[in-house]
Amino acid sequence: MPEMSIVERQVGRVVILDFHGRIVIGQGENVLREAVNRLADSGNVHILLNLADVPFIDSSVIGELVRSLTTVSRKGGQVKLVKLPPRIKNLLSMARLLTVFEAYESEDEAVRSF
């Protein structure tokens, strides 16, 4: 299975993290944590996580998503989600996190929401 990777890009004041591959305990959630912490510490607090190319996340990643949201919120920012695959959307729904995170179908709509 290929390792997870993140491509970072900016649209206006929003930093978009495009995730590719499975995000699982160990390497995956650490890369997510480091990316969000680095952005928040440098003042980039409008973060959009694009999960369109992520076939699977495990429960450790759900915790890391919540931690990321808390970290960025404390700095006055927001973390939002875009292009959730059905499997991940269902998982977040079962964990009642779609009431915590703003999730969007389109990137344009998500960027405008900040």
Judged against a pLDDT cut of 70, whether residue 73 lies above it is answered with yes
Residue-wise pLDDT for 28-66, tens only, equals: 888 999 999 999 999 999 999 999 999 999 888 899 999
Contact call for residues 10 and 42 (beta carbons, < 8 A): no
Q: What is the pLDDT of residue 46?
A: 98
- pLDDT given for residue 55 in this prediction: 93
CATH of domain 5-112: 3.30.750.24
Distance, C-alpha 85 to centroid of its chain: 13
- Look up residue 100 and give its two tokens: 């915590």
Question: What is the pLDDT, as a whole number, of residue 2?
Answer: 57
Q: Which amino acid is at 31?
A: V
What integer pLDDT is reported at residue 26 of this predicted model?
81
Whether the pLDDT of residue 27 is over 80: the answer is no
Nearest CA among 23, 30, 31, 28 for reference residue 55: 23
